[in-house]
Chains A and B, each alone.
Chain A
Amino acid sequence: MTVIVGALPLPWPFEREYMQLALAAGLTVGACAPLIGAFLVQKRMSLMGDGIGHLAFAGVAAGLLANVWPIWTALIAAVIGAVAIEWLRSHGRASGDLALALFFYGGIAGGAVLVSRAGAGSTNVLPYLFGSVLTATRGDVAIVMVLGVCIVLTLLVTGRALFAIVLDEESARVSGLPVDTLNTLLAALTAITIVAAMRVVGVLLVAALMVLPVATSRLVARSFRATLVGATVVGMASVVMGLVAARAWSLAPGGSIVLAVALCFTITAIVASALRLGQGAAVVPTT
C-alpha cells in the first residue's frame, strides 16, 4: 500500500511524495481516532487519550535512551499504562479521573527524566510531542496503516458489545457480556490509536482528534451509528484541511489539523443552534 502512496498523480498540495505519505497516515488516524473516541466520550473518559499520550511520551523517551525505534517502546508503555488505568478504574481503586491524573503526571515526569538522560537524542522527542507528519517515512506510514486496520477490524467485531457497555455497564454485565475484557480491550485500542497518531498530531494533541470530531458529530447525529460515521468524516476532513493549510502557509501540521477540527466544531455548533432556533420559530403561532 505504501508503495503506491507517494507515486499517485494527485493535485496540489498532495502532488509531492511527502505530502501523500502525510495524507495516508493522517487519513488513517483521522478515521480511527474518532471511532475510539466515541466510546471514550460516552464513558466520560474523554481525557484518557491525554493520560495515555503522556505515557507514550515516556515510552518514546525510553526508546531514544535505549536507542530502540521509539514507536515500539511507546506502544509497550501506552498499552501497559492503558490496561493499568482500566484496572484501577474497574476495581474501584481510583476513580477514572484520579487514575488518569496518576498516569498523566507520572508519564510526563518519567518522560522528562528519561529525555534528560538521553543527551543529544533528546531533540528527537519534539516530533512525537507535537507531531511531524510531513517528515514521516514509508516505514512510519506503514506502521500507522497496519495499526489502523487492526483498530477498525477489532471494532467491527466488538463495536456492538462496546455500545451495550456504554449504554449500561451493569446491565451488560448481568446479561453475560465479558465487560472487563472488553473494557480492557478498549483501553488497549486507545493506546494503539495514540501511538498511531503520535507522528501525525503528537502526543500532546492526540486527545483532540479523539474527542472533538465526536463532539462535532453529536451536535447533529440522531443515532450512535450516525455519530460514528459523522465523527469519522469530520476527523478525515480535518486532516485534509489541516494538511492543506500547513502546506499553503508553512504551518505546523499537527496544530493545523487540530485547529481544523475545532473550526468544524464551532461552525457545526453555530449552524445546529441556528437550525434549532429556526425550527422553534416555525412552530410559534403567528396569530
Chain B
Amino acid sequence: MGSQPVVAAQHVSFAYGIDPVLTDVSFEIGGGEFVALVGPNGSGKSTLLRILLGVLRPQRGGVALFGQNPRVLRDRFRVGYVPQRVAVPSDLPATVEEVVRSGRLARRGWWRPATATDRGAVDHALESVAMAHMRKQPLRECSGGQQQRVLIAKALVGDPELLVLDEPIAGVDVESQQLFRDSLVHLVEAHDATVLLVSHELGAVANDLDRVVVLKQSVVFDGKPQDLTARGVSLGVHRDDLPLWLEGLA
C-alpha cells in the first residue's frame, strides 16, 4: 500500500431519518489494490459508495479520495464510476459509441471538441470490453451483459486511477463476466489503477482480489480472500457460499 490511501473512510456514520445505515465505518484502499465491498441487502453498501463518491455527505466522520474531500476534489476524472445498469434509461436513442464517448468529457474538458487522442481512447475502451464491432448499435438493442460492458467502457475511457463499480455483473451472462474480469485485471496490472467493486457475485474475480471488505452497518470483515476462505466461505469454487454467508449475517 502506498503512503497515501486512494480511498479512506474514517468513523463514517449515516442515517436516513432515525434509522442508522452506517455506524463508525473505517477502512482504507491503497493504490493498485483490487478490493471487493460486499454485504447483505440493506447493509449500507450503496450509501457508503455514494458517500465515498461525494454524492452524499456523512453525518459523522469523514472520507477522502486521493487525500481530498470528494465533494471538493478538483480532478474528478481520476475516478471512473460504473453505476447499476438500471441507472441508464432503457429508451435512450443513443449508440454504444455515443455512450462511451460521453465518459471522456470530464478528462478532456466538457466544453472542448474531441481530439484524435480522445477518439483513440474510445476505440481502446470499446476494444477492451470486446464491443468495438457494435459501436454503431443502439444501446437499447444490446443485451444486459453487453450494456454492462458498454458502461464499463464508458468508465474506462477516462483513464481513471480509481474505478468504482456498483453491482456490475448482476444478471450478466458468463461470457460478459469473463470479459469484465479481464478488463479489470488489465486495468489493475497494466495501468496500476485501484478498483473498488461492490457486488454479491465475486466468482468471476475471486482469484484476482487483494481484499474483501464485508459491511453490515459497520465493517465486520476486512482482509484477504484467503482469510475469508479460512472461515469456510468460498468466493469462487462454490458460488453460492458467499451469498449464503451474507444471508446469515443479515
Mark A residues whose CB is within 8 Å of B: 42, 157-158, 160-161, 163-164, 166-168, 170-171, 173-178, 218, 221-227
Contact = CB atoms under 8 A, between A and B. Distances in A.
A157 B136 CA distance: 23
B95 A223 contact: yes
A225 B94 CA distance: 8
A173 B55 contact: yes
B79 interface: yes
A174 B53 contact: yes
A167 B99 contact: yes
Given A167-B99, A227-B93, A175 B138 contact: no
Contacts of A168: 83, 87-88
A176 B76 contact: yes
A225 B114 CA distance: 15
Contacts of B80: 175
Contacts of A227: 93
B76 A175 contact: yes
B105 A160 contact: yes
Contacts of A42: 89, 92
A174 B81 CA distance: 7
Contact of B105 (A161, A222, A223, A225): A161
Interface residues of B, number: 33
B224 to A, nearest CB: 29
B210 interface: no
Contacts, number: 84
Nearest to A160: B105
B34 to A, nearest CB: 20
B180 interface: no
A222 B154 CA distance: 19
> Most A CB atoms within 10 A — which of B55, B87, B94?
B94
Nearest to B141: A222
Interface string B58-81: 000000000000000111110111
A157 B93 contact: no
Nearest to A218: B93
A137 B83 CA distance: 51
A174 B22 CA distance: 21
In terms of DSSP, what is the predominant structure of the interface of chain B? loop
Interface of B: 53-55, 73-77, 79-81, 83, 87-89, 91-95, 98-99, 101-103, 105-106, 110-111, 136, 138, 154, 158
A174 B79 contact: yes
Given A175-B103, A177-B105, A161 B111 contact: yes
Contacts of B81: 171, 174-175
A89 B136 CA distance: 34
Contacts of A177: 105-106, 110
A167 B111 contact: no
Given A164-B105, A175-B81, A224-B92, 18 more contacts: A157-B111, A163-B94, A163-B102, A166-B92, A170-B87, A171-B81, A171-B83, A171-B154, A174-B54, A174-B79, A175-B103, A175-B105, A175-B158, A177-B110, A221-B93, A223-B95, A224-B94, A225-B98
A223 B99 CA distance: 10
| A-B pairs with lowest CB-CB distance, top 3 | A176-B76, A175-B106, A164-B102
A218 B53 CA distance: 34
Given A171-B81, A175-B77, A223-B95, A161 B87 contact: no
Contacts of B154: 171
Contact of A160 (B53, B77, B110, B158): B110
Contacts of B111: 157-158, 161
A74 to B, nearest CB: 29
Nearest to A158: B111
A256 to B, nearest CB: 28
B94 A167 contact: yes
A223 B92 CA distance: 9
Nearest to B97: A223
Contacts of A176: 73-77, 106
A74 B30 CA distance: 56
A121 to B, nearest CB: 44
Contacts of B99: 167
